[in-house]
Amino acid sequence: MSLLRYGSLLLLLLLSAQSLGAPRSFSVDYKKDCFRKDGERFRYVSGSIHYSRIPRVYWKDRLLKMYMAGLNAIQTYIPWNYHEESPGQYNFSGDRDLEYFLQLANDIGLLVILRPGPYICAEWDMGGLPAWLLKKKDIVLRSSDPDYIAAVDKWMGKLLPMIKPFLYQNGGPIITVQVENEYGSYFVCDYNYLRHLSKLFQSHLGNKVVLFTTDGASLGYLKCGTIRGLYTTVDFGPGANVTAAFEVQRYAEPHGPLVNSEFYTGWLDHWGSPHSVVSTAMVAKSLNEILAAGANVNLYMFIGGTNFGYWNGANSPYGAQPTSYDYDAPLSEAGDLTEKYFAIQKVIKMYRKIPEGLMPPSTPKYAYGRVAMQRIHTVVSALDKLSYSGPVKSTYPQTFIELGQAFGFVLYRTTLPVDCSAPTPLSSPLNGIHDRAYVSVDGVAVGVLERDIALTVNVTGKNGSQLDLLVENMGRINYGSHINDFKGLVSNLTLGKNILQDWTMYSLSIDQVLSQGLLGQTKTREAPQPPNLSLPTFYEGNFIIPDGIPDLPQDTYIKLPKWRKGQVWINGINMGRYWPARGPQETLFVPAAILSTTALNNVTVLELEEAPRSSDLCYVEFTATPILNATVQSEHKHLKPFSKEGGLGF
Ligand SMILES: *[C@@H]1O[C@H](CO)[C@@H](O)[C@H](O)[C@H]1NC(C)=O
Ligand SMILES: *[C@@H]1O[C@H](CO)[C@@H](O)[C@H](O)[C@H]1NC(C)=O
Ligand SMILES: *[C@@H]1O[C@H](CO)[C@@H](O)[C@H](O)[C@H]1NC(C)=O
Ligand SMILES: *[C@@H]1O[C@H](CO)[C@@H](O)[C@H](O)[C@H]1NC(C)=O
Ligand SMILES: *[C@@H]1O[C@H](CO)[C@@H](O)[C@H](O)[C@H]1NC(C)=O
Ligand SMILES: *[C@@H]1O[C@H](CO)[C@@H](O)[C@H](O)[C@H]1NC(C)=O
Ligand SMILES: *[C@@H]1O[C@H](CO)[C@@H](O)[C@H](O)[C@H]1NC(C)=O
Ligand SMILES: *[C@@H]1O[C@H](CO)[C@@H](O)[C@H](O)[C@H]1NC(C)=O
């Protein structure tokens, strides 16, 4: 008998011994203030990882590094909108293969704390809720609104039965399941909604599963965030008074394990605000205090990863999060081991045995260098190719959702109804540009409108001149009372005193076109543009992976010096948004797995404002080091570290 067969036989025997003996169990012990796993006192030291922000090929590497840090569990969110992009069309394959992710965690020896939402926050578009819920204009999200509940029931009816075999008591890794997320921070305060979810989860998962809630560690948040039957946990960051924070949990749960479900290892970023950095010493000190208190903890994030494509969220007043979700976490965006990683491991080691064995190294990066870029099409000149469904006409502008589009860009077109020989204000009096509009008149760029920031631009032109606004959805608000975040032109535009009418709107399928290589290459004539702004334009370049260097392709970062703002695709895959003109992120993570060693690698850039004009400077550059902390051009007021609202906090 081979060793392998002997091994699996042994495993089978062990498994059946287990199933014959004490069944696997996981529960809250209210007498001894702890969790119990298979009857034994148990405490978790967990870390957050979002599979939706990491390419599948790297899941194992990242999980292994988490295991080697001394964690015995991971925590992950399930973004509903990632799995059900249109109603009833589910995707659980490739990078969205949740079952494979859970199986990997299990095989590596990590338990799982699952956070299936339906709302997850997470700095993820609309907090994970699908934008199509907004088809009902006045829907009250995260409440007992019947249409919302019907959609939730259907989704959970698909998701939870898939999860059930992975519950700990069923032989899988999932020890606890969170219901909703920080519901106490939401204005609606609908206990019936929480009760409905609680029953729904139990009806699918059985009544043995430990269900819990998470809220900020202050009584104000617990008020609407907790109900009986769901175990109350809290979240707080380094520097908090740990004793005081757990006293808040004790107010709701006089007995049972202490749990910090989100202990912040870093913090999120916004375009235009300095990169968040949280000191390693502070993280280590507070983690030590939490573990010394005998508490369970989840480090949020242990690895942040990347908001590929259009998946980033935003905060209100409108401030979008960048493509990188590095989070200053112990494992970098690219999965590299940092000083913070080893400091955390050292603290954990005082409380738990650290696994022995080889630490998977940081993955090597390669600087492929500069790639010259050529202008191929303006968006307008490629409209026929980009707009599959053709234009839609209506008197007043329609939103993305009315047009049946969730993400990306829509072109809104009308004509000037009067002569504007003098500069005439084109305005969005109700702040309805969601989120940024690149404005042109008769093919000449005239300015940029931006939600909350720039609501008026002067235009000149003749009666009948063509007015185009390419409107960018920069990511839906994921937190607070404004998550019903409609995109596009969500209210009327005025020109002088006139409300603009008779719109022609083009839904753009840029991602489908680029993934099928259908954009093609025609140089089109373009009217001369003003000195500092151009029409939104596609650029293309390509590069080959050099021969004779071992272990290529490797991961890399793309940098766009002197470019302003846009979106970048490599081999038709959407890498995310760049905006070096605003900062702080300057490089985008590019995983090796999307690069080809046999074909030319294609880089496509949609520059929305202005590419470098001189052809010497019209290049992108692949580098080996990330830059996430460049200086910012304009600073907005945003959430303070670890605080859930402007002034409130811990
Ligand atoms: C499902 O998601 C995977 C991973 O993002 C993607 O490769 C695949 O094309 C998607 N399938 C469908 C049918 O959209
Ligand atoms: C932390 O909170 C506890 C309990 O509320 C209090 O007794 C203690 O003084 C606080 N410590 C500090 C340093 O503020
Ligand atoms: C603008 O042109 C349209 C179509 O030619 C015409 O009907 C309209 O009266 C003109 N408006 C003004 C204010 O000149
Ligand atoms: C538009 O033009 C008017 C008149 O020239 C000027 O007063 C105003 O500041 C301009 N507005 C913008 C937003 O440029
Ligand atoms: C635009 O204005 C028209 C006429 O006042 C009004 O009926 C319509 O509701 C407005 N549309 C939006 C989206 O505000
Ligand atoms: C272009 O320059 C004009 C005049 O200096 C300025 O008003 C405008 O904001 C600039 N546009 C951009 C996108 O920087
Ligand atoms: C890049 O584009 C060329 C031309 O369309 C195509 O032949 C090639 O396969 C593409 N490369 C990759 C890696 O998709
Ligand atoms: C950015 O981070 C790097 C690496 O941590 C550091 O060396 C550099 O000084 C930082 N730059 C800025 C502008 O903060």
| Residue 454 Cα: closest atom of ligand 4 | 13
pLDDT band at 527 (very low <50, low <70, confident <90, very high): confident
CB within 8 A of 199, min separation 6: which ones?
none
Confidence band for 561, pLDDT divided at 50, 70 and 90 = very high
Find out whether the beta carbon of 338 lies less than 6 Å from any atom of ligand 8.
no
Per-residue pLDDT tens over the stretch 158-179: 999 999 999 999 999 999 999 9
Phi, psi of 424, rounded to the nearest 5 degrees: -120, 130
pLDDT recorded at residue 20: 54
Take atom 14 of ligand 3 and give the residue whose Cα is closest.
Answer: 418
- Using the CB atoms, write b or e for 575-604: b if 16+ within 10 Å: bbbbbbbbbbbbbbbbbbebbeeeeebbbb
Q: Which of 138-147, 328-337, 547-556, 618-627 has the lowest mean pLDDT?
A: 547-556
- Looking at residues 196-205, what average pLDDT do you find? 98
Q: Residues 469, 503: contact at Cβ < 8 Å?
A: no
Q: Which H/E stretch holds residue 512? A: helix 510-515
Query: How many Cα atoms within 13 Å fall on the side-chain side of residue 378?
Result: 20
Of the listed 84, 123, 180, 182, which one is catalytic?
A: 182
Residue 262: active-site member: yes
Residue 646 binned pLDDT confidence (cut-offs 50, 70, 90): very low
Report if pTM > 0.75: yes
Using the Cα atoms of residue 491, residue 496, residue 499 and residue 505 in order, give the sign of their dihedral.
Answer: negative
pLDDT at 38: 97
- Has 586 been annotated as catalytic? no
Using pLDDT thresholds of 50, 70 and 90, give the confidence band for residue 15: low
Q: How far is the CA of 239 from the centre of ligand 2 (A)?
A: 12
What φ, ψ does residue 199 adopt, rounded to 5°? -65, -40
Average pLDDT, the chain: 94
Residues of the chain with pLDDT > 70, as a percent, come to 94
List, for residues 435-486, the tens digit of each pLDDT value. Answer: 999 999 999 999 999 999 999 999 999 999 999 999 999 999 999 999 999 9
Q: What is the pLDDT of residue 389?
A: 86
pLDDT above 80 for 645: no
Question: Would you state the pLDDT for residue 523?
Answer: 72
Query: Residues near ligand 7 with C-beta < 6 Å?
Result: 517, 571, 596, 599-602
Q: Is the alpha carbon torsion for 444, 445, 447, 451 positive or negative? A: positive
Task: Report the separation in Å between the CA atom of 363 and the middle of ligand 6, taken as the mean of its atom positions.
Answer: 42
pLDDT score for 417: 97
pLDDT tens, residue by residue, 71-92: 999 999 999 999 999 999 999 9
| H helix runs in 71-216, sequence order | 80-83, 98-108, 146-163, 191-205
Peptide bond into 584 cis (omega under 30): yes
